[in-house]
A = this chain, B = another copy of it.
Amino acid sequence: MDNAFDAQRPIYIQLIERVKTRIVSGEYPPGEQIPPVRELADASGVNPNTMQKALAELERDGLLTVQRTVGRFVTGDEDLIAKLKAELAQTHIARFLREITALGIDAGDAIRLLTDYIGRQKEEI
């Protein structure tokens, strides 16, 4: 399912995050064309205007380029993508650490808990 949104945050923001994630993960490779707005909107179950709004912001950030009458393309600037990836990773890490230490769990225990969790996940497979 692609159409599960946090009902409490603006959908277009969540769409931006999703597309960024796809670019960074390589699902949308650098330089490649992405699906048309309508298709993306359909797949996520949102209004095309909402999807449009999300993509426009990504264009402003330089992550997407638009070729009129052709479509949208992921930037070919792989450094930019790598930078975004590192930035997103740091954001997630910082947030995680902030949250977990607020519970009274120190960094060492956090790593241990995370390692355990990953171990358990593998077992499930």
* Copies of the chain in the assembly: 4
Distance to closest chain B CB from A22 (angstroms): 9
Say whether A92 contacts B88, CB under 8 Å.
no
Question: Interface of chain A, helix or strand or loop or mixed?
Answer: helix
Q: Smallest Cβ distance from A90 to chain B, in angstroms?
A: 7
Q: How large, as a class, is the contact surface on chain A? A: 35 or more
Chain B residues in 8 Å Cβ range of A107: 118, 121
A10 to B26: give the CA distance in the assembly, Å. Answer: 34
Check if A103 sits within 8 Å of B21, measured CB to CB.
yes
Sampled A-B contacts (30; CB under 8 Å): A8-B8, A8-B9, A8-B10, A21-B102, A24-B103, A24-B104, A25-B102, A25-B103, A25-B104, A60-B60, A85-B105, A88-B103, A89-B100, A89-B105, A89-B113, A90-B117, A92-B96, A92-B99, A92-B103, A93-B113, A93-B114, A93-B117, A94-B117, A95-B96, A96-B96, A96-B114, A97-B114, A97-B117, A97-B118, A114-B114
Cβ-based interface call for A7 (8 A): yes
Closest to A21 in B: B102
